[in-house]
Structure 1
């Protein structure tokens, strides 16, 4: 299993940052490079506990789908999105939010396992981990820009 941990400081209220993170429309905008779009489940607006979304996006030159559910959520402290169907063996993204000095510390913990045994591990080491880290970092920077404009 691979774990990626990221932290972003945002000069905006915790509720604003929390809602931007669970907003399907903001996710589509922040991932426009990979042409991500919601094709099933919650396809617009705020996703909530117990709901699902299926994403379709272009990664590594091919279109992939990824269906996630939100099994846990405590507004505005944290939520978890977990893969139900997709290319990973296992994928879990925990989003946590902490109010600090009038701003918000946004933390991401991504835990995943790749399929395909040794070949999957090599792909992860050489390409995938860096790709996912950059993907989430770009998304977080997009959210930061929007949140700080409010």
Structure 2
């Protein structure tokens, strides 16, 4: 099963980065390139343990729907979301937030996925989907970093 690991260094405290990464409003900002919208579940604010959200987005020219649920949460160090319904055979996204001596945060995303269709799905994962998803997650990390390091985060997420 393919596993991607993305490291993002953010000059902001872990508590802010953690809350920001759980914000569905941030998610909407970070996925504008796919036309992603929330069609069910939590539609704004910060997700909590057990919450689910359903997104609709265009990937590879095809509209897809994916429902994800927060299945584990240890604030402000870790949370996990897992696909409940969607195009993947399997999808699990773990988010780690490690405080740095500088006062910043190392955000580490571990993303496991598998496409359906057996050997054909594995071939697509290896040749196309791995690179696509890495770029998608790197862009999300870039947006989290941009908003968390500036006062822009206050326009979407309350300070408390």
TM-score between the two structures when normalised by the length of structure 2:
0.92
Q: 3-state SS of the aligned residue for 2:116? A: coil
The whole-number CA distance in structure 2 between the counterparts of 1:75 and 1:60 is 35
Asked if structure 1 preserves the Cα contact closer than 8 Å seen for 2:41 and 2:53, the reply is: yes
Name the Cα RMSD after superposition.
0.7
Cα deviation, residue 50, structure 1: 0.6
Structural mapping, 1:46-61, within 5 Å: 46-61=46-61
Residue aligned with 1:97, SS = strand
Question: TM-score scaled to structure 1, two decimals?
Answer: 0.98
2:103 aligned partner: 102
1:146 aligns with 2:147: yes
**Which whole-Å CA distance do the structure 2 matches of 1:121 and 1:13 have between them?**
38
Structure 1 residue 37, shift from structure 2 partner: 1.1
Higher mean displacement: 115-124 or 75-84: 115-124
For structure 1, list consecutive stretches of 5 or more residues without a partner in the other structure.
none
Higher strand share: 1
Alignment of 1:1-150 (within 5 A): 1-100=1-100, 101-150=102-151
CA distance in 1, matches of 2:34, 2:109: 20
Q: Is the 8 A contact 2:70 2:81 kept in 1?
A: yes
- Would you say how many aligned residue pairs link Structure 1 and Structure 2? 150
Detail structure 1 runs of 4+ shifted over 4 Å in the superposition. Answer: none
The alpha carbon displacement at 1:114 in A equals 1.1
* Structure 2 CA distance for aligned equivalents of residues 30 and 111 of structure 1: 20
